[in-house]
Structure 1
Amino acid sequence: MLALRLTFESLRFAWDALRGNVLRTVLSLLGVTVGIFAIIAVFAVVDSLEANVRHSMDFIGDKVIYVGKWPWKFDANRPWWKYFNRPVPTEREFRELQKRLGPNNKGVAIFVASGGNTLKAAVNSVADCALQGVSYDYRIISNVPVEDGRYFTPQEMADGRPVAIIGATIAENLYPQGRALGQEFKVRGAKFTVIGVMKKEGKNMLDTPSNDANCLIPYGAFAKLFALSATGMGGPSPSLGVKGRDEDPGLLDLEYEMQGVMRNIRGLKPKQEDNFALNRPEMIASAIGQLFDIIGIAGAVIGSFAILVGGFGIANIMFVSVRERTSIIGIQKSLGAQNFFILFQFLFEAVFLCLIGGGLGILLVWLITLVPQDALPLFLSSGNVALGLLVSVGIGILAGIVPAIIAANLDPVEAIRAK
């Protein structure tokens, strides 16, 4: 009850003081507002930039280990020709991984892509499309956002049937007058039937592969088009992907198991080094996270100078407020007000002032996020809002603690006599 009464009384005193000096209050708020705006704007831009970059990398999946010829991170001490001489993953190895891998995985997929294809339907055509052959579990390791229609059935995959899931841009250009489902198109002389259309994604910041101009077909159908063999001879080189389980943190168990199985499949002796690479998206995600952590720290340091200026402004105004209200403080003390009440009163006023300024700074950032941005859509997270308010409270305490202590320790007799 005492705490509630102190809070209410302090709020009333703070509001009366702020309202009685409107111009001074506005000038004091300006420094805090600019400071909080600078810090939160930097964090909002960094978070938006990181989210956009990570979204651009969605096509590589999450918790997936890829089997490839080339590593995503090269060893500087290893000659390039050793990587070049490695064999490419094959369909036979994909089948063996399916058979031999234990319960540490959710699915194994093989996929292969060819760019620069032209799809034709009646008088319409779309050039420079990516044609991708995939196995049934491909949707487990990668995002396939089918918006209209359905995904492939196991039977369609097993038979290599001429069915396809196309991107939104392909659907819009091939069938501008109607629905794409059930329609046919030709690519490389073969006829396919559309069973699904993927959600439109638009361009991303890194200009990474998008599903909009992508056409998925069963791996068997792709192998027929490009004369791929089970041993990997001829045509584009396929890749293998294995989805890990959430119960395997870091996917260490899956990685060790895959390494052993792949070495066994390729007949490597114990002393021979691996002739394949096990790549994980975490390598890229970790590098991205470290980069944006550095950018965020640099932005926070720059923004902290602005908030520091605002803090000095609040401290200055609180010293002036103590001097102006010295006689009132003396009267309050003579009537029985305790030191902690005076201390809390001025400290609360400083915090209240900073919270108003911080709130205005956060509001400005939020208003900027409402402006449509094609290149980089901005958003303001609840964490950044909480951070802005927390920083405001911290600045208020630091700026008001010394003036509040001075006010609390004033001698009541001398304070009443002050003019």
Structure 2
Amino acid sequence: MLTLRLTLESFRFALDALKSNLLRTILSLLGVTVGIFAIIAVFTIVDSLEANIRSSLDFAGDKVIYVSKWPFAFDSGFPWWKYFKRPVPTPREYQQLRKQLGPNNKGIAIFAANSGNTLKAGSNSVSDCVLQGASYDYRAVSNMPVKEGRYFTSQEIEAARPVAIIGATIAENLFPNGNALGKQFKARGQTLTVIGVMEKEGKKLITISSNDANCIIPFGMFTKMFTLSTTGFGGGPSATIAVKGRDEDPGLMDLEYEMRGTMRNIRGLKPRDEDNFALNRPEMVAAAIGKLFGVIGIVGGVIGSFAILVGGFGIANIMFVSVRERTNIIGIEKSLGAKNFFILFQFLFEAICLCLIGGVAGILLVWLVTLVPQDALPLNMSAARVILGLLISVGIGVIAGIVPAALAANLDPVIAIRAK
């Protein structure tokens, strides 16, 4: 109890010292404030940027393997010209995959898209829209939340009926006065009926994935509007096949192995032939993003640490001045029986309090910045970053205050009392 009481008394002495030199206290903590602001701001921006990009990639779905001509991550040792010679996936291959794949999947879909389209409804129109054709299982392999209306029926997909599920931006522009469900609009000379409206996503850093300007129609209807490319170079949009894995196969190793064997069989590849297709998984992109932002975070932390280092030197300098000014008081305290740890904690707590106040101020500034409305990149400061800022502040306080505090604790009381 005595130790706790003395520790609390040291803390009270430290606060009294800070209050008695208010101007110096404010000037001292500015360096720490700037340093913590720099570090936490960098980490907050990096976290928000990574979260935004990952959110933008949600359209790719979870536990999904894509059959494509191009890989998500290029192999530096693979001859680049061989990628160009690969054929693109076709509807025939999609149908064969549906028949030949075993029970390791929850859905197989084929889809293709064409951008830069203008949609019209009466006197209203909206440009730069994406027309996307999809098979029935597209909802299983991709994130496509329908807010109003419904999804396609299997009969609508098989019969290639002129129905569409549109994004929120398209609905707002084509039908500004009411519900879009059941209304008709024209796209590339075809009249389509709205059966569903997707949830509004808003702006994203990677806007190519936003559903707001997407119009999804049955794949058969899409092929009536566009001629699919057989090479992947011009001549029309190219198709992609996606297969959704089961939860029982978390690594998708069984599904990937089965898909590779089935695709090689469909394309008539011999055992020694190289794959002429790519099996892509969104985790490849996520892993690359994680590594990239890990490096950016380290670089940002190093840059921000220079600012906090300057603040630490400032705190240490002020603490040395504080010890010199209060040498006489230290001598009196020690002559009255004050223990060395009491004097040590008194000055150490003062340094920590200075840094904590500066750190809280820096974190508060970052929080105020996150309140500024941002459409493309909303900033969010996590609790982990707040805790990190406080821990850094305490660490800097200990480092900056330990030497001055130790010098004060080891002063000879007789010599200290005589100091002027």
TM-score (norm 1): 0.90
Q: Is the 8 A contact 2:186 2:192 kept in 1?
A: yes
When residues 409 and 245 of structure 1 are mapped into structure 2, their CA distance, relative to the original with a 3 A threshold, is farther
Answering whether residue 204 of structure 2 is matched by residue 204 of structure 1, we say yes
Residue identity opposite 2:266 in structure 1: I
Q: Is the 8 A contact 2:228 2:239 kept in 1?
A: no
Other-structure match for 1:356: 357
User: d(CA) in 1 for partners of 2:44 and 2:360?
Assistant: 15
Secondary structure, in 3 states, of the residue corresponding to 1:151?
Answer: coil
When residues 227 and 36 of structure 1 are mapped into structure 2, their CA distance, relative to the original with a 3 A threshold, is closer
Other-structure match for 2:317: 316
Other-structure match for 1:379: 380
1:387-418, Cα deviation, whole Å (9 max, x unpaired): 11111011001001111211222223333333
Q: Tell me by how many angstroms 1:229 deviates.
A: 12
User: d(CA) in 2 for partners of 1:385 and 1:113?
Assistant: 43
Q: Tell me by how many angstroms 1:190 deviates.
A: 3.1
Q: Which moved more, 1:119-128 or 1:254-263?
A: 119-128
Answering whether residue 329 of structure 2 is matched by residue 343 of structure 1, we say no
Q: Is the 8 A contact 1:311 1:399 kept in 2?
A: yes
Q: Is the 8 A contact 1:43 1:384 kept in 2?
A: yes
Q: Is the 8 A contact 2:227 2:237 kept in 1?
A: no
Q: Is the 8 A contact 1:163 1:217 kept in 2?
A: yes
Other-structure match for 1:302: 303
Secondary structure, in 3 states, of the residue corresponding to 2:178?
Answer: coil
Q: Tell me by how many angstroms 1:142 deviates.
A: 1.8
User: d(CA) in 1 for partners of 2:155 and 2:126?
Assistant: 29
User: d(CA) in 2 for partners of 1:182 and 1:343?
Assistant: 77
**Please, which runs of 5 or more residues in structure 2 have no aligned partner?**
none
Residue identity opposite 1:258 in structure 2: M
Other-structure match for 2:68: 68
When residues 350 and 218 of structure 1 are mapped into structure 2, their CA distance, relative to the original with a 3 A threshold, is same
Q: What's the % identity of the aligned pairs? A: 75
Other-structure match for 1:394: 395
User: d(CA) in 2 for partners of 1:58 and 1:310?
Assistant: 41
Secondary structure, in 3 states, of the residue corresponding to 1:130?
Answer: strand
Other-structure match for 1:165: 165
Match runs of 1:258-269 below 5 Å: 258-269=259-270
1:23-49, Cα deviation, whole Å (9 max, x unpaired): 111111111111111111122222222
Match runs of 1:5-404 below 5 Å: 5-226=5-226, 236-245=237-246, 248-404=249-405
User: d(CA) in 1 for partners of 2:263 and 2:257?
Assistant: 10
When residues 331 and 251 of structure 1 are mapped into structure 2, their CA distance, relative to the original with a 3 A threshold, is farther
User: d(CA) in 2 for partners of 1:39 and 1:123?
Assistant: 53
User: d(CA) in 2 for partners of 1:95 and 1:278?
Assistant: 17
User: d(CA) in 2 for partners of 1:6 and 1:184?
Assistant: 80
Secondary structure, in 3 states, of the residue corresponding to 1:57?
Answer: helix
1:311-342, Cα deviation, whole Å (9 max, x unpaired): 01111111222222233333333343332232
User: d(CA) in 2 for partners of 1:262 and 1:48?
Assistant: 39
User: d(CA) in 1 for partners of 2:94 and 2:108?
Assistant: 7
User: d(CA) in 2 for partners of 1:280 and 1:229?
Assistant: 23
When residues 105 and 398 of structure 1 are mapped into structure 2, their CA distance, relative to the original with a 3 A threshold, is farther
When residues 208 and 225 of structure 1 are mapped into structure 2, their CA distance, relative to the original with a 3 A threshold, is closer
User: d(CA) in 2 for partners of 1:36 and 1:67?
Assistant: 47
**Please, which runs of 5 or more residues in structure 1 have no aligned partner?**
none
User: d(CA) in 2 for partners of 1:147 and 1:108?
Assistant: 23
Q: Is the 8 A contact 2:7 2:342 kept in 1?
A: no
Q: Aligned-pair RMSD on alpha carbons? A: 2.6
Q: Tell me by how many angstroms 1:235 deviates.
A: 5.6
Residue identity opposite 1:357 in structure 2: G
User: d(CA) in 2 for partners of 1:399 and 1:278?
Assistant: 55
Q: Is the 8 A contact 1:182 1:195 kept in 2?
A: yes
Q: Tell me by how many angstroms 1:69 deviates.
A: 1.5
Residue identity opposite 1:57 in structure 2: L
Other-structure match for 1:414: 415
Q: Is the 8 A contact 1:223 1:229 kept in 2?
A: no
The alignment covers a number of residue pairs equal to: 417
When residues 414 and 128 of structure 1 are mapped into structure 2, their CA distance, relative to the original with a 3 A threshold, is closer
Secondary structure, in 3 states, of the residue corresponding to 1:182?
Answer: coil
User: d(CA) in 1 for partners of 2:91 and 2:80?
Assistant: 25
Secondary structure, in 3 states, of the residue corresponding to 1:272?
Answer: coil
When residues 244 and 349 of structure 1 are mapped into structure 2, their CA distance, relative to the original with a 3 A threshold, is farther
Q: Which moved more, 1:395-404 or 1:137-146?
A: 137-146
TM-score (norm 2): 0.90
User: d(CA) in 2 for partners of 1:30 and 1:17?
Assistant: 18
